[in-house]
Chain A
Amino acid sequence: KQEVTQIPAALSVPEGENLVLNCSFTDSAIYNLQWFRQDPGKGLTSLLLIQSSQREQTSGRLNASLDKSSGRSTLYIAASQPGDSATYLCAVARLGQNFVFGPGTRLSVLP
């Protein structure tokens, strides 16, 4: 059974810092991995999708990498802003199976 963990559980940084969020999964036979953002009491906004054949994806200040063999993904946020404050979730899926979510990292960026 796939288990997804995320470290750290919470992170508080001053504005402008570069930061790294970590996601680990136990079954490396994944088909893709998706990073989401969740604002308090709100829905899930897709940030980046990495297919198993890819090593990384970039969107603006966000960069996500995937190392299937070690069961890890990182989300790198450059030059953090207060508007980046949210919970960041990673989710992984095997081909033909549903996504399994991690517990999230709660990020606070202080002005």
Chain B
Amino acid sequence: EPEVTQTPSHQVTQMGQEVILRCVPISNHLYFYWYRQILGQKVEFLVSFYNNEISEKSEIFDDQFSVERPDGSNFTLKIRSTKLEDSAMYFCASSESYAGGYGYTFGSGTRLTVV
């Protein structure tokens, strides 16, 4: 069964450093998403991406965050200057249609720890 792949599975970074989280969505999917889950809290929407541009973003997704699809397979989330409160599990997801009839497929997540 097709999978969404995320790397790395765990990243530890110092406060103020830049991090890039990587995702390989399912090959025939057109819509891509990043969500995050702070330990013990709800899964929260960050951003959606379609046709090489952001479709929607939440208030969490401020100027410190950016997304990119640098080639035909990868989808990245960059945090420019990490803060302690960015520590969370970050999930990438993809779908054939936007919140459409086929739902989302999520990756296994990247646990980001900012120290």
- CB-based contact B99/A43 at 8 Å: no
Question: Which of A11-19, A76-84, A99-107 participates in binding chain B?
Answer: A99-107
- CB-based contact A98/B43 at 8 Å: no
> How many positions in chain B have a CB within 8 Å of any CB in the partner chain?
25
- CB-based contact B109/A99 at 8 Å: no
B102 to chain A, nearest CB (A): 7
Q: A31-B99, A96-B98 are in contact. Are A46 and B105 (CB under 8 A)?
A: yes
Query: In whole angstroms, what is the CA distance A36 to B100 when docked?
Result: 16
- Interface contacts (Cβ under 8 Å), in number, total 60
Q: Which of A43, A89, A98 meets B107, CB within 8 Å?
A: A43
A42 to chain B, nearest CB (A): 6
B99 to chain A, nearest CB (A): 4
Q: Which of A41, A46, A103 meets B103, CB within 8 Å?
A: A46
A20 interface residue (CB < 8 Å to B): no
Q: Mark A46-62, 1 if CB is under 8 A from B, else 0.
A: 10010100000000000
Chain B residues near A (Cβ < 8 Å): 6, 33, 35, 41-45, 48, 56, 89, 91, 98-109, 111
Chain A residues near B (Cβ < 8 Å): 31-32, 34, 36, 41-46, 49, 51, 89, 91, 93-104
